[in-house]
A and B are shown apart, each in its own frame.
Chain A
Amino acid sequence: MSFFNTYRNPALVKDCLDVIRTEAKKPIKLMEVCGGHTHAIQRYGLPSLLPSNIELLSGPGCPVCVTNRSYIDQAIHLASDTQNIICTYGDLLRVPGSISSLEKVKALGHSVEIVLSPLQCLEMAKQNPDKHIVFLGIGFETTAPATAATILEAEKKKIKNFSVFSAHKTMPAAMKALAGEQPLLNGYICPGHVSSITGARMYSFLPEKHGIACVIAGFEPLDLLECILMLIRQVNSNHPKVQIQYKRAVTINGNKKAQQILEKVFKPVNDYWRGLGRINGSGLAIENRYEEFDTNSRLYLPPYEISEPAGCICGDILKGIQKPNECGLFRSACTPANPIGACMVSNEGACNAYYSYKP
């Protein structure tokens, strides 16, 4: 398969590393914002190949990790009503709420189904007219358009027994909040799939206002190394800007159609990020016009309090202030089989990637 051969070519990777070693003259701190990048960087063993003056920090871009614990508690509450069928992407299944997880309540007989696309929910709604299908809408700009498209499709098909419990979030607001807290950060490895929707333009405030270099990267080893090289060159020239490395998927303006349906179906709200706290304008709630597809309007949800587990430093890890192996719970109390903090849960979480791949 030429795709793998091209972007994973060991000889080209070696060449790229040689150039990086030559050009990386001073200590540089870079943050990969996206969980997919964290996963890929660890999977290909890149940190062990990079020169020691390049430090990679893992950011807040794993949607499962930043989802508030009480969201899981509320989803479990919804699942406990036999009238509902809860549909979710697979990696949310094992995320611990404050007392249980969707996986555990599924074992008790509650209806929890894994879907690969939210459109599957509409088929399920047709097949189960006496049940209410709830889709757990989670993820950034990457998955939110599919949720929006499903709501529009449900409206078109006049499906009445379907709603979305939205915890969708947007990336730029979080990156802005982090830029303020990370004065030593030289550059962002900007998310690839999110940017394919939003376009590169949305990052321009980062170099302009915060002096942070930005390069949007793909997910293959050569993508990531080329991105790192581009960031090094920006830092060396002291001229931060936004560049696209992942040109085969990302443009300046992004996917207009996806942006339009996002704007049509969702509205920005202040949202709580696990480990990071409340970030203004960072959540996507369903527009009033589509409230018949908003679980919040359709079904009763119990009130909740926000709390974080004791001893967990996920907040600092998501901000790039500390690394997973600096946490007292890492590998002892907190493991992928028994995750305490958010970053250990999904395989895109920084702690999970460190646990799984770092020998």
Chain B
Amino acid sequence: MSDTVLLAHGSGGIKTQQLIQDYFFKLFDNPILNEATDSAVLDRPKGKICLTTDNFVVQPQDFPGGDIGKLAVCGTINDLAVSGAKPQYLSVGFILEEGLLLSDLMRYVKSMANTAKSAGVRIVTGDTKVVQRNNCDHLYINTTGIGTIQSEQEHISSGRKIKSGDAILINGYIGDHGMAIFSTRFPKQVSTKLLSDCNCLNELIGDLLAKKCKINFMRDPTRGGVAGVLNELSTQLNLGINILEDQLPVRPEVSGLCEILGFDPLYLANEGKVLLICPKEESEKILNIWRKHPLGKNARQIGHISNEHKGLVVMQTCYGGKRLIDPMISDPLPRIC
């Protein structure tokens, strides 16, 4: 029988120590973590810091293009990166279900370690709890991230510098993650080779910051999709937002499946996309920089900020008609016919 997580792994005793040594220390390996202190002791950075936290409960834990481990690292790194910060450190909290295969845990931990390493971010502290069987779905992961931010980027997450005429850009195809996850839940009904776009965006965004691009706003359109972010923004700042239907980058597989299932790609989750708003004259520079990066090859402008219809997101259809893009109620449901 395969080795599994036992309640003893969370008891604080020898099994806990073994788990920490053989899995976390071994794979997350770095001098700060290896001190094995209750708190990670970090150098004080120049300027201000950004702090963010996120919980990861994705089901299934393995999906085409990634797994819960990769997602837990990318998700928090991206929240820092889109705020204009340089991600530096992560903490990780695991809630493990009794009976989880240790081989599965090893795979997720390896995936976290590899993702963090390639993003240049260190996992410096953590915690593990084990709950009884059926009290959680295999495992849940929390990651908290610290990044450093320069004063000239502080406005990016609020969007307070956005003005009429600004361009709205995205770094590639939308809806891949949402549709990839959906296809794994209905494997016999939905057959696709789509991969989740799950990726760390700090390098792609770092390139822009290094080249002093003027950015007025960034956010990653995860749950709720592009429509969700744009609606939040238009409501919070009372902005009119115009989207051009014929400019939206959607893969044929995603739009085809959306047609069949009754979904709209604008509402599907992404895990490797950033929506960026910048002055109109800055857009070409940004798109040119992005298109040289593998995660920005299909970057393009999808709309602009308008003086009209304040507080609403409106799409101009390919035929010149207009329609409202309203906020999503909850997860999209496949329709009857």
**Which residue numbers of A lie inside 8 Å of B, CB to CB?**
1, 4, 8, 10, 13-14, 17, 36, 42-46, 48-49, 63-64, 89-94, 114, 116-117, 120, 138-140, 142-143, 193, 221, 336-337, 346-348, 355-359
User: In the complex, which residues of chain B have a beta carbon less than 8 angstroms from the beta carbon of A356?
Assistant: 324, 326
Q: Mark B299-337, 1 if CB is under 8 A from A, else 0.
A: 000000000010010100111111110100110011111
Q: Mark B240-252, 1 if CB is under 8 A from A, else 0.
A: 0000001000001
Given A93-B333, A347-B262, A359-B312, 12 additional A-B pairs, CB 8 A: A1-B252, A1-B256, A44-B321, A91-B262, A94-B333, A116-B190, A139-B336, A142-B336, A143-B337, A346-B335, A357-B324, A359-B309
How distant is the Cα of A337 from the Cα of B336 in the complex, in angstroms? 19
A13's contact among B312, B319, B337, by CB below 8 Å, is which?
A: B319
Chain B, Cβ-Cβ closest to A146: B337
How distant is the Cα of A347 from the Cα of B188 in the complex, in angstroms? 25
Pair A221/B335 contact, Cβ less than 8 Å: no
- Known contacts A1-B252, A1-B256, A356-B324; A63/B319 CB under 8 A: no
CB distance from B274 to the nearest CB of A (A): 26
Chain A, Cβ-Cβ closest to B312: A359
How distant is the Cα of A64 from the Cα of B324 in the complex, in angstroms? 23
CB distance from A114 to the nearest CB of B (A): 7
Q: How many of chain B's residues touch chain A, expressed as a range?
A: 20 to 34
User: In the complex, which residues of chain A have a beta carbon less than 8 angstroms from the beta carbon of B256?
Assistant: 1
Scoring B186, B319, B320 by chain A CB atoms within 10 A of each residue's CB, the highest score goes to B319
A91's contact among B255, B324, B335, by CB below 8 Å, is which?
A: B335
Q: Among residues 173 to 192 in chain B, which have CB atoms less than 8 Å away from a CB atom of chain A?
A: 186, 188-190
Chain A, Cβ-Cβ closest to B246: A10
Pair B314/A359 contact, Cβ less than 8 Å: yes
User: In the complex, which residues of chain A have a beta carbon less than 8 angstroms from the beta carbon of B317?
Assistant: 43-45
User: In the complex, which residues of chain A have a beta carbon less than 8 angstroms from the beta carbon of B318?
Assistant: 8, 10, 13
Pair A45/B334 contact, Cβ less than 8 Å: no
Pair B321/A89 contact, Cβ less than 8 Å: no
Scoring B186, B255, B337 by chain A CB atoms within 10 A of each residue's CB, the highest score goes to B337
Pair B320/A49 contact, Cβ less than 8 Å: yes
Ordered by A's residue number, 5 sampled pairs between the chains whose C-beta atoms are within 8 Å are: A44-B319, A46-B319, A91-B334, A140-B337, A359-B314
User: In the complex, which residues of chain B have a beta carbon less than 8 angstroms from the beta carbon of A10?
Assistant: 246, 318-319
Pair A116/B186 contact, Cβ less than 8 Å: yes
Pair A45/B337 contact, Cβ less than 8 Å: no
- Known contacts A1-B256, A44-B319; A138/B324 CB under 8 A: no
User: In the complex, which residues of chain A have a beta carbon less than 8 angstroms from the beta carbon of B186?
Assistant: 116
User: In the complex, which residues of chain B have a beta carbon less than 8 angstroms from the beta carbon of A14?
Assistant: 319
Pair A359/B333 contact, Cβ less than 8 Å: no
Pair A42/B323 contact, Cβ less than 8 Å: yes
- Known contacts A221-B319, A359-B324; A114/B334 CB under 8 A: yes
User: In the complex, which residues of chain B have a beta carbon less than 8 angstroms from the beta carbon of A1?
Assistant: 252, 255-256
Pair A336/B329 contact, Cβ less than 8 Å: yes
- Known contacts A337-B329, A359-B309; A142/B337 CB under 8 A: yes
User: In the complex, which residues of chain B have a beta carbon less than 8 angstroms from the beta carbon of A221?
Assistant: 319
How distant is the Cα of A347 from the Cα of B324 in the complex, in angstroms? 14
Pair A91/B333 contact, Cβ less than 8 Å: yes
Q: Among residues 198 to 243 in chain B, which have CB atoms less than 8 Å away from a CB atom of chain A?
A: none
User: In the complex, which residues of chain A have a beta carbon less than 8 angstroms from the beta carbon of B335?
Assistant: 89-91, 346-348
- Helix, strand, loop or mixed for chain B's interface? loop
Pair A355/B326 contact, Cβ less than 8 Å: yes
User: In the complex, which residues of chain A have a beta carbon less than 8 angstroms from the beta carbon of B255?
Assistant: 1, 4
A143's contact among B319, B334, B336, by CB below 8 Å, is which?
A: B336
B324's contact among A63, A93, A139, A358, by CB below 8 Å, is which?
A: A358
User: In the complex, which residues of chain B have a beta carbon less than 8 angstroms from the beta carbon of A142?
Assistant: 336-337
Pair A48/B336 contact, Cβ less than 8 Å: no
The 4 closest A-B pairs by CB, nearest first: A45-B321, A90-B333, A90-B334, A357-B323
Scoring A94, A117, A347 by chain B CB atoms within 10 A of each residue's CB, the highest score goes to A347
Pair A43/B336 contact, Cβ less than 8 Å: no
Pair B337/A36 contact, Cβ less than 8 Å: yes
A138's contact among B323, B333, B336, by CB below 8 Å, is which?
A: B336
How distant is the Cα of A44 from the Cα of B318 in the complex, in angstroms? 8
CB distance from A236 to the nearest CB of B (A): 24
How distant is the Cα of A114 from the Cα of B185 in the complex, in angstroms? 10
CB distance from A115 to the nearest CB of B (A): 9
Q: Among residues 39 to 63 in chain B, which have CB atoms less than 8 Å away from a CB atom of chain A?
A: none
User: In the complex, which residues of chain B have a beta carbon less than 8 angstroms from the beta carbon of A193?
Assistant: 337
- Known contacts A114-B334, A336-B329; A358/B323 CB under 8 A: yes
User: In the complex, which residues of chain B have a beta carbon less than 8 angstroms from the beta carbon of A347?
Assistant: 262, 335
How distant is the Cα of A78 from the Cα of B186 in the complex, in angstroms? 24
User: In the complex, which residues of chain B have a beta carbon less than 8 angstroms from the beta carbon of A358?
Assistant: 323-324
How distant is the Cα of A46 from the Cα of B321 in the complex, in angstroms? 7
User: In the complex, which residues of chain B have a beta carbon less than 8 angstroms from the beta carbon of A45?
Assistant: 317, 319-323
How distant is the Cα of A90 from the Cα of B188 in the complex, in angstroms? 17
CB distance from B320 to the nearest CB of A (A): 7
How distant is the Cα of A143 from the Cα of B322 in the complex, in angstroms? 32
Chain B, Cβ-Cβ closest to A64: B336
CB distance from B135 to the nearest CB of A (A): 14
How distant is the Cα of A356 from the Cα of B328 in the complex, in angstroms? 10
Pair A89/B334 contact, Cβ less than 8 Å: yes
How distant is the Cα of A58 from the Cα of B261 in the complex, in angstroms? 22
How distant is the Cα of A92 from the Cα of B329 in the complex, in angstroms? 15
Q: Mark B256-281, 1 if CB is under 8 A from A, else 0.
A: 10000110000000000000000000
CB distance from B74 to the nearest CB of A (A): 28
Pair A359/B319 contact, Cβ less than 8 Å: no
Chain B, Cβ-Cβ closest to A358: B324
CB distance from B20 to the nearest CB of A (A): 35
Chain B, Cβ-Cβ closest to A9: B318
CB distance from B264 to the nearest CB of A (A): 8
Pair A49/B321 contact, Cβ less than 8 Å: yes
CB distance from A33 to the nearest CB of B (A): 13
CB distance from A352 to the nearest CB of B (A): 10
User: In the complex, which residues of chain A have a beta carbon less than 8 angstroms from the beta carbon of B322?
Assistant: 45, 48, 359
User: In the complex, which residues of chain A have a beta carbon less than 8 angstroms from the beta carbon of B246?
Assistant: 10
Chain B, Cβ-Cβ closest to A193: B337
How distant is the Cα of A327 from the Cα of B314 in the complex, in angstroms? 23
CB distance from B316 to the nearest CB of A (A): 8
User: In the complex, which residues of chain B have a beta carbon less than 8 angstroms from the beta carbon of A139?
Assistant: 336-337
CB distance from A153 to the nearest CB of B (A): 15
